[in-house]
Amino acid sequence: MPEDTTLRDAADAADFRLGAAVAADPLRTDAGYWTSLRRGFNTVTAENAMKMGPMRPEPGVYDFTDADAVANFAEAHDMALRGHTLVWHNQLPDWFQEWDYTDDQLAAFLRDHVHTVAGRYRGTVEAWDVVNEAVADDGTMRDSVWYDALGERYLDDAFRWANDVAPDADLFYNDYGADAVNEKSDAIYELLEGMLDRGVPVDGVGLQMHALDGVPDPESVAENVRRFSDLGLDVHVTEMDVAYPEADAPENHRERQAEDYRDVLDVCLAEGVDTLVVWGVRDSDSWIPEWFPHVTEDPLLFDASNDPKPAYHALKERLEDTD
C-alpha cells in the first residue's frame, strides 16, 4: 500500500472490522476526534449512548438524540455500527427502582426496552451486544435486578426479543475477564452451550479484552476462540485497551503495547475473528485513568494530540501483510 494509506484503508483492504467506541459529544464538537476516528476505523460502537440509563431520562420517555448522532455519523462515513448494550446490570435509569415492580412487570419493562431500541435501529445496527456481563468473576451468575426477578431465562428472553425486531442483526453475549481459558470463560461457554441447546438465537460471543497488565497468553486466547467457534458462534474482540501497572510498567511500554495489540490481531486473523474494537479513539478519551488510576494512562491507538502511536502502526502493518 502507498505510505499515505491509513489504518482504516488497511482494514478495508483486509476485509476486517476494526472499530472504536465513540461518544456523541466529541462527534459534534471535536474535529480532531472524528478525523482520527475516520482515519483509524471502519466500525463504531456507541460507548454509552445506547445503554438503558442514557436512553431513558424519565419514565415512559426514550431519548435517542445521542444514539442517533452515533448512528448518523456511522452512516455518513460508511462505517458499520455495533449496538451496545440492550441488557446490563449497570447504568440503569436514575429513576428506576426495582422494588416498584413485580417480576412480571420487570419482564414487561425489559421486553419493551429491547423491542423499542433494537427495533428502532433495525437495518442500521449490524451487531448487538444483547446481554452484557451476566457472569460474575467466579463463574456464577451475576446477581442483578434481571437475574433476581427472572432467573437465567432473562438471557434467553432478551435474545429472543431482540431477534423479534432485528432478525438481520448478529446477536452477541459480551463479557470481560474471559478472553483466555479460565474459570469465567468456562462458565460462559457452558452458559452459551445451554442457550444454543434451547434454540436461543445467539450468534456470537464478545471478548472484551480490557488488558490492564498486558494481554493474556495468545495461545490461551486462541484456544478460547476455537472452542466458542466450535459451538458455531462468531467471536469478536469488543472492547480492547492495553495498559500496565505504573509501578511495574515495561520499559518503552508503548512498544510493548504495540506488540500486545499485534499479538491479539494475529490471533484474530489466524482463528477467523473478523472484528476487533478498541474502547475509545484517543488516550484522552479513555475510561481507564478514572477507573484504574494506578495503571499507565495511554491504552489506545491515538495519543491526546490525535497522533497515531506505535500500536496504530503495528496493526496497520499486520493488516497490510494479509494481502
Catalytic residues: 133, 239
Burial of 323 (0-12, 13-18, 19+ CB in 10 A): exposed
Whose cell is 494475529? That residue is 266
Write 77-80 long-range contacts (CB < 8 A, 24+): 77/38, 78/42, 79/41, 79/42, 79/43, 79/44, 80/17, 80/19, 80/42, 80/43, 80/44, 80/126, 80/127
Are the beta carbons of 86 and 130 closer than 8 angstroms? yes
Measured CA angle at 323 (ends 270, 237), to 5 deg: 40
Instruction: Using alpha carbons, select from 304, 288, 210, 298 the residue that is nearest to residue 254.
Output: 298
Cell numbers at 322, concatenated: 494479509
